[in-house]
Chain A
Amino acid sequence: MSTTAFEIHDMTVAYHRRPVLWDIDLQIPEGKLVGIVGPNGAGKTTLIKAALGLVPLASGKVEIYGKSYKDQRHLVGYVPQRESVDWDFPVTVRDVVLMGTYGQLGWFRRPGKSQYAVADRCLQEVGIQPLANRQIRQLSGGQQQRVFLARALAQDAQLYFLDEPFSGVDAATEAAIFELLQSLRSTSKTVLVVHHDLQTVRDYFDYVILLNMRLVACGPVETTFTNENLQKTYGGRLTILDEAAEAMRQHAK
């Protein structure tokens, strides 16, 4: 019986009085590569942010290895979307990767030799060690994505959340990222990835979460990634609950 790395109970999240995620209930066992898919506006990024405690929950709870997120921060790594950051900021590649170690450093301590060693090791692992002293603006999209990955690796976590890591990167970077995720899984780490490309879901992931404001389905790819579930996620018939949600959305506009 494998351990549950990540669990959500009855979670609802609302932005500006609009429900964005509704009654989400799921369990993810340890050591799985999980794809989170759904149409635009389905709440995929919100799901991750709610799990990380970045947005308030209207109801429900999130558990990481059985405990609340607040007690388990050291077990979690995060790769946000590339657009969420100002790439003109005066930091080098190495500076950004070092930030991954700040959580363990705590207040008042500065990064020292061992943190620099960790950072360099993570830069090696994602293949951008030669770029360590570059300002981040000078990187290509794929390289920027790798910087974020290296930073997450430096967090040395058990559970990783990645928000659209494959979007807008070249084929070589995509392959490299996937290899990295596989090697993480091989050490029993759990990885959740917001993914936009339905074609590659079967190739990349063991588990899939199908999301469209409500949880449509969650489970192993073979049994869950079915046409019927995709229909429910991406289009077709609206249930009464969906119509109500749509009406509320219109009203709040």
Chain B
Amino acid sequence: MTVDQPVIAALFFDGLNLSQKVMFGTALLGGISGVVGSFAVLRGRSLVGDMLAHAALPGVCLAFLIMGSRNMLGLSLGALLSGLLAIGMVSLLVHWTRTKEDAAIGIVLSTFYGMGVVLLSIIQKPHIGGNKAGLDSYLFGEPGNMLSADLVLLAVVAAVLLVIVFTFFKEFQLVSFDNDFARSQGWPTLLLDLALMASLAVVTIVGLPIVGIILMAAMIIIPASTARFWTNRLHIMLLLAGAFGAAAGVLGTKLGRGLPAGAAIVLTATGFFVLSLLLAPGRGVVSRVLAEVQLRNRIAREHLLRSLYELSESDLPKRILLPIHKLREYRHWRFLPKLLAGAVESGHVESDDETVKLTPLGLQRAAELTKAHRLWEMYLVQHAGIAADHVDRDADDVEHLLTASLLLELEHELAAEGRLPDITPEVPDSPHELGTDPKNTPSSDF
């Protein structure tokens, strides 16, 4: 560490008590994990974060054995080297053998982790003193072990990474979205890839003592995945991921007093994820179910009106009273009473227990729907070559999603073939001469 660093620490972080330091540290870590993790998640590299975390263990242990004491920078360096070695081995495995990437990652991850656990058990023997150094906090995380110096390192790392992401946002965005296109424009995609990978590695290494090896991957993956539910723009996703991560850090530490801190933070992050999964507008489960239900209701209402039209077609333009059992015989219904009640409320039908009748508004709507349905049926038979007896079912599935412009097109086509049915709804005669406003009629006619 440089000379300035303890001074900065004394000036700022020493002034905080332990719980404030922990809050600050977990917020910082959560925030930067969210931001950097967004790129990893979007590019399908989430496993790499997990591997880095697990593969760091032997490096941490060896660094401790070499230095003889717990120095955050030294341990982090050991972790980083060990992690990078693991990445290198995965590459070699994939390129030189037939092993696929996910298997290679699993193999290297477990091997390194296993070596690390062995080294850890050696260190924890009393004559080596590992216990006192709290090295096993690397496994499950212990934010409470954070010193001011550690906090400074974390703050510096977070600040540097944020500056990098901000400065090179468009380059990172381009490389993540379309690597080939980026390269064709002349961008050094390999360097940019490495920069993103390196950011991921640094965040992982620095976060290990706080949330632990086992859960570090979750900090990288979960806030970013949560943010994805809420936006379609990358820069907003980064902001939200940072926010969710920081919130998980602070809230998790608070809620998880007495529990392993890393686990508490991760579970809080998962809580945000589940809430977003359910409640996010558009992409959330609740939203999609509601939209589906609304669509089904609309379709059912349209079937009702069309059936009523077809049942009374021969009597048009008079609107006849139909017995409900006839409706039931005509086609299959789910919750017909409820359907009828809804149609009454919207003013399309009049109904009692035994009978139902279209209102003028209902007749007009029913006529439009039936015309559209028949147009679509004809189109399917003519142009899609679907057998006439299959058409009704297919038409039912799709026609409700037709737009007005498509309908117009179909009409013109069928009219040109001379096959457009004339389904004009009953329109009452105008009570006055057309083209004049009764109030404005001059005394003489023309």
Residues of A within 8 A of B (CB): 49, 52-54, 70, 73, 76, 78, 80, 84-86, 89-92, 95-96, 99, 102-103, 105, 107-108, 110-111, 135, 151, 155
Tell me if B184 and A89 are in contact (CB < 8 A). no
Whether A49 pairs with B177 at a CB distance below 8 angstroms is: no
Interface positions, chain B 180-206, Cβ under 8 Å from A, are: 180-181, 183-187
Cα A54 to Cα B189 with chains together (Å):
11
Given A90-B42, A90-B237, A102-B170, check contact A80 B181 (CB 8 Å): yes
- Point out the residue from A52, A90, A103, A107 that lies within 8 Å of B232, measured CB to CB: A90
Which chain A positions have C-beta within 8 A of B183? Answer: 52-54
What is B's interface to A at a CB cutoff of 8 Å?
42, 167-171, 173-174, 176-178, 180-181, 183-187, 228, 231-234, 237
Nearest-CB distance from B269 to chain A (Å)?
19
Taking CB as reference atom, which chain B residue is nearest A138? B232
A52-B183, A89-B234, A90-B232 known, 15 other contacts, Cβ within 8 Å: A53-B183, A54-B180, A54-B183, A73-B185, A78-B184, A86-B42, A89-B176, A90-B42, A90-B237, A92-B233, A99-B174, A108-B167, A110-B169, A111-B170, A151-B181
B232 and A85 contacting across the interface, CB-CB below 8 Å? no
CB-CB under 8 A for A110 and B170, given A53-B184, A90-B237: yes
B233, A52: Cβ atoms closer than 8 Å: no
| Among candidates B42, B171, B181, B184, residue contacting A107 with C-beta atoms closer than 8 Å | B171
| Cβ contacts under 8 Å, B234 to chain A | 89-91, 95
Which B residue's beta carbon lies closest to that of A79?
A: B181
Whether A89 and B42, one on each chain, are in contact in the complex, defined by CB atoms closer than 8 angstroms, is yes
Can you spell out 15 A-B residue pairs with CB atoms less than 8 angstroms apart?
A52-B184, A54-B183, A54-B184, A73-B185, A78-B184, A86-B42, A90-B228, A90-B231, A90-B237, A91-B177, A92-B232, A95-B233, A99-B181, A103-B186, A108-B167
> Shortest beta-carbon distance, B385 to chain A, in Å?
16
- What residues of chain A lie closer than 8 Å to B237, measured between beta carbons? 90
| Cβ B177 vs Cβ A89 within 8 A | yes
Nearest residue, chain A, Cβ from B233: A90
Q: Which residues of B contact A80 (CB under 8 A)?
A: 178, 180-181
Complex CA gap A188/B306 in Å reads 57
In the complex, which residues of chain B have a beta carbon less than 8 angstroms from the beta carbon of A96? 177
Indicate which residue in A73, A89, A91, A95 contacts B186 across the interface (CB closer than 8 Å). A73
Which residue of B has the minimal Cβ distance to A81?
B180
Within 8 Å CB of A86, what residues of B? 42, 177
Give the complex CA separation of A95 and B174 in angstroms: 10
Closest B residue by C-beta to A87: B177
- Smallest CB separation, A107 vs chain B (Å): 7
Nearest-Cβ distance from residue B61 to partner chain A, whole angstroms: 38
Q: Smallest Cβ distance from A25 to chain B, in angstroms? A: 23
How many pairs of A and B residues are in contact by the CB < 8 Å rule?
A: 70
The interface residues of chain B lying within 8 Å CB-to-CB of A105 are 170
- Whether B178 contacts A85 by the Cβ 8 Å rule is yes
**A73: chain B residues within 8 A (beta carbon):** 184-186
Contact at A49–B233, with CB atoms within 8 Å?
A: no
Q: Which residues of A are found within 8 Å of B174, using beta-carbon distances?
A: 99, 102
A78 to chain B, nearest CB (A): 4
Top 6 A-B residue pairs of the complex, sorted by shortest distance between their CB atoms: A103-B185, A135-B232, A73-B186, A78-B184, A52-B184, A90-B234
A27 to B123: give the CA distance in the assembly, Å: 68
- Contacting pair A84 B231 (CB below 8 A): no
Compute how far the CA of A90 lies from the CA of B176 in the bound complex, rounded to whole angstroms: 11
Chain A residue contacts of B168, Cβ below 8 A? 107
- With A92-B232, A92-B233, A135-B232 as given contacts, are A99 and B184 in contact (CB-CB < 8 Å)? no
Residues of A within 8 A of B180 (CB): 49, 52, 54, 78, 80, 84
Scoring A49, A52, A54, A90 by chain B CB atoms within 10 A of each residue's CB, the highest score goes to A90
Identify which of B184, B231, B233 gathers the most chain A CB atoms within 10 Å of its CB. B184
Task: Give the most central of B174, B228, B232: most A CB within 10 Å.
Answer: B232
A91:B184 contact, CB within 8 angstroms? no
Distance of A84 Cα from B177 Cα, bound (Å)? 10
Measured between alpha carbons, how far is A103 from B233 in the docked complex, in Å? 21
**CA separation between A100 and B170, bound complex, in Å?**
12
CA distance A146 to B383 in the complex (A): 26
- What separation, in Å, do the CA atoms of A86 and B45 have in the docked complex? 14
Which residues of A are found within 8 Å of B170, using beta-carbon distances?
102, 105, 110-111
Contacts of A155 in B (CB 8 A): 185
Q: Which of B173, B184, B187 contacts A76 (CB 8 A)?
A: B184
**B181 proximity list for chain A (CB < 8 A):** 78, 80, 99, 151
CA distance A95 to B187 in the complex (A): 18
Q: Which residue of B lies closest to A98 (CB)?
A: B170
**Bound: A81/B33 CA distance, A:** 33
Looking at the assembled complex, report how far the CB atom of A101 sits from the nearest CB atom of chain B, in whole angstroms: 10
CB distance from B151 to the nearest CB of A (A): 31
- Chain B residues within 8 Å of A49, by CB: 180
Give the docked Cα–Cα distance between A239 and B149 (Å): 72
A110 contacts which chain B residues (CB < 8 A)?
169-170
Q: How far is the CA of A80 from the CA of B228 in the complex (A)?
A: 26
Bound: A73/B182 CA distance, A: 11
CA distance A107 to B185 in the complex (A): 12
Q: How far is the CB of A110 from chain B (nearest CB, A)?
A: 7
What are the residues of chain B within 8 A of A135 when measuring CB–CB? 232
- B47 CB, min distance to chain A CBs, angstroms: 16
Q: Is A91 within 8 A of B167, CB to CB?
A: no
Q: Which of B181, B186, B187 has the most CB of A within 10 A?
A: B181
B183 to A, closest residue via Cβ: A54
